[in-house]
Amino acid sequence: MREVSLRDSNPEHAGGGASNQPSGRQRGFDYLIVGAGFAGSVLAERLAAGLNKRVLVVDRRPHIGGNAYDHYDEAGVLIHRYGPHIFHTNAQRIVDYLSRFTEWRPYEHRVLAQVDGQEVPIPINMTTLNKLYGLNMTTEQEAADFLASRAEPVEDIQTSEDVVINGIGRELYQKFFRGYTRKQWGLDPSQLDKSVTSRIPTRTNTDDRYFTDTFQQMPKHGYTKMFEKMLAHPNIKVMINTDYREIRDEVQHDHLIFCGPIDEYFDYRFGKLPYRSLKFEHKQLDQEQFQAVGTVNYPSEDVPYTRISEYKHLTGQVHPKTSVTYEYPSAEGDPYYPIPRPENAELYKRYQKLADETPGVTFVGRLGTYKYYNMDQVVGQALALYKRIEEAERGPAASENAAHGQSLAEQAP
Ligand code: FAD
Ligand code: UDP
């Protein structure tokens, strides 16, 4: 990673490796990328290393990594500034790609929910049901029968309320989902697309992992270290503390890739796309361990936060102190979550159409495409966009090589 001053937007002066075979014009950059999170960093790396493009990445925050940014706090504990980020995926090609920039540490996330004065596993499983109802079920069939006896079939499942009530009934819905969702989104589950609560399955076995993906590992030295390696290419310049609006007229570039909010780019022409925000309260505690698992959820509306996460479970760090983060949902603040509901999807479609009609700019990432994506999905989206760019430049055959691990530019002569 290199940081350049605004005055030095010519990569020749910034000491970049672009002098080999300059593509595009001599001055300025081939690509200006707004946002140094997963979307922007993956594209910067691919365009620089795969197509020898000269890339400037800007981010208005004082760091790279976007929402996945992690750092050591004053106590020396590795924490995630924007809440717990657990990497999980079923896509081996995404693991293969990221493994170029990091080693991994196995970690399977476990979450407990505080319900009726007890801490019980979420996703709901056989153990959850046994604990809550004082039962002693031992077979999956028993648990399935129990849930079936409580489920209240909903004919046309549309909302986040429908999908849960249909699966497990109103009582469990109220204990685990209603309050949490109302706090998290500022909306009742009946006002949210079914995709939101569908993220959380129900299990009839005793599997108490939050995710069941084939790959569940954390970057061994943290996310930020991984991003540093990704952006370390000599063709890539990075400017942090820099809003796109400050530099858009000063930095010459052929293409723009925008990973910020799409409605902001268009000056909210059709109105604001709703995003949900969070306030993070980070605490350092003078004790070795705070809670039994990485995250404890608090569905009750009497508790103002949704969850507490303790990072040492995620990172495996051994330290006499520990650090935790409380998440307080909020209408104001940085845009963290696109809000999945039909009217928002309609508004996004209008922006998407405008984006399609606007030459020279491509939108990508969770904010750029208004999609409630996990990290691996954003990496997948960015790699797919890169593939399209590569094919447009070199034809499909070259991109096939890239998909198998190396682009032509990286192959030995
Ligand atoms: P971002 O990381 O948001 O990056 C966009 C960047 O663009 C930001 O850094 C922003 O500062 C910058 N930017 C925006 N506008 C401008 C501008 N005008 N000028 C300059 N810079 C600008 N995913 C998982 O897979 N597992 C998890 O456990 C997980 N946990 C999460 C927990 C929380 C609390 C949140 C909020 C998200 C979580 N996610 C998780 C999702 C994950 O954070 C995202 O999928 C991923 O970080 C999105 O990457 P991105 O590049 O699209 O966006
Ligand atoms: N959810 C809930 N209770 C829980 C956990 C999740 O109601 O104990 C609902 C809530 O609406 C939440 C959604 O399921 O926003 C998705 O949960 P997830 O843990 O995937 O949220 P994220 O990690 O993306 O914030």
DSSP character string of 83-102: S----EES-HHHHHHHTTT-
CA separation for the pair 260, 37 (Å, rounded): 10
Can you list the pairs that 352-359 forms with residues at least 24 positions away whose Cβ atoms lie under 8 Å? 352/262, 354/266, 354/269, 354/270, 355/262, 355/266
| Ligand in closest contact with the CA of 62 | 1
Residue 333 predicted with pLDDT over 70: yes
Q: Give me the phi and psi of 276, to 5 degrees please.
A: -100, 140
Q: What does the pLDDT look like over 19-48, one tens digit per residue? A: 333 344 446 899 999 999 999 999 999 999
What spacing in Å lies between the alpha carbon of 394 and ligand 1's midpoint?
A: 31
Q: Report the percent of the chain where pLDDT is more than 70.
A: 89
The CATH fold assigned to 2-104+221-272+338-411 is Rossmann fold (3.40.50)
Measure 338 CA to ligand 1 centroid, in angstroms.
11
> Is pLDDT above 90 for 157?
yes
Question: Which residues fall within 8 angstroms of residue 32, CB to CB, at 6 or more apart?
Answer: 55, 56, 58, 248, 251, 253, 255, 256, 257
* Residue 257 burial (10 A CB sphere; 0-12, 13-18, 19+): buried
- Tell me which of 67, 184, 208 to substitute to probe ligand 2's pocket, judged by most ligand atoms within 8 Å of the beta carbon: 184
DSSP 274: P
Question: Residue 122: CB partners within 8 Å, gap ≥ 6?
Answer: 111, 112, 113, 128, 176, 200, 210, 297
Compute φ and ψ for 322, nearest 5 degrees.
-140, 160
Sign of the alpha-carbon dihedral angle for 347, 369, 330, 298: positive
Beta-bridged to residue 212, according to DSSP, are none
Please give the mean pLDDT across all residues of the chain: 92
Instruction: Please tell me the distance between residue 375's alpha carbon and the centre of ligand 1 in angstroms.
Output: 8
DSSP state at residue 375: H
**pLDDT the model gives residue 409:** 33
Q: Calculate the CA dihedral of residues 312, 293, 297, 370 and round it to 10 degrees.
A: 50
Question: What tens digit of pLDDT does each residue of 267-280 get?
Answer: 999 999 999 999 99
Query: What pLDDT, on a 0 to 100 scale, did the predictor assign at position 58?
Result: 98
Longest dimension (CA), the chain: 73
* Ligand 1 within 6 A of CB of 66: yes
Task: Please tell me the predicted confidence (pLDDT) of residue 20.
Answer: 34
Report which ligand 2 atom has the smallest distance to the Cα of 210: 19
Rounded distance between C-alpha atoms, residue 261 and residue 226, angstroms = 24
CB of 365 closer than 8 Å to CB of 382: yes
Sign (positive or negative) of CA dihedral 260, 86, 118, 321: negative
The protein residue whose alpha carbon is closest to atom 11 in ligand 2 is 181
The pLDDT of 215-241, averaged and rounded, is: 98
Name the pLDDT band for 351 (thresholds 50, 70, 90). Answer: very high
CA 215 to ligand 1 centroid distance, Å: 21
Contact 2, 16 (CB under 8 A): yes
* For range 199-225, the mean pLDDT: 98
Q: Could you state, in order of their start, the residue ranges of all structural domains in the chain? A: 2-104+221-272+338-411, 111-198
Position of tokens 């004919």? 155
**Is residue 18 scored above 80 in pLDDT?**
no
Closest CA to 329 of 305, 298, 303: 305
pLDDT value, residue 410: 33
Q: pLDDT tens digit string along 80-126?
A: 999 999 999 999 999 999 999 999 999 999 999 999 999 999 999 99
| Of 43-52, 108-117, 251-260, 400-409, minimum mean pLDDT range | 400-409
The rounded Å distance from CA 196 to ligand 2 centre is 7
Query: CA 182, 178, 336: angle at the middle one, nearest 5?
Result: 40
| Atom of ligand 1 minimally distant from the CA of 41 | 51
- Nearest ligand atom owner, CA of 190: 2
Whether ligand 1 lies within 6 angstroms of the CB of 67 is answered as: yes
Q: Is the pLDDT of residue 407 over 50?
A: no
CA atoms within 13 A on the CB side of 295: 23
CB of 339 closer than 6 A to ligand 2?
Answer: no
* Structure confidence at residue 396 (pLDDT): 77
| pLDDT band per the 50, 70, 90 thresholds, residue 406 | very low
Per-residue model confidence (pLDDT) at position 363: 98
Whether ligand 1 lies within 6 angstroms of the CB of 244 is answered as yes
At residue 37, the pLDDT reads 98
- Average pLDDT for residues 196-206, to the nearest whole number? 98
Q: Residue 301 above 60 pLDDT?
A: yes
**pLDDT exceeds 80 at position 213:** yes
| Cα(169) to centroid(ligand 1), Å | 34
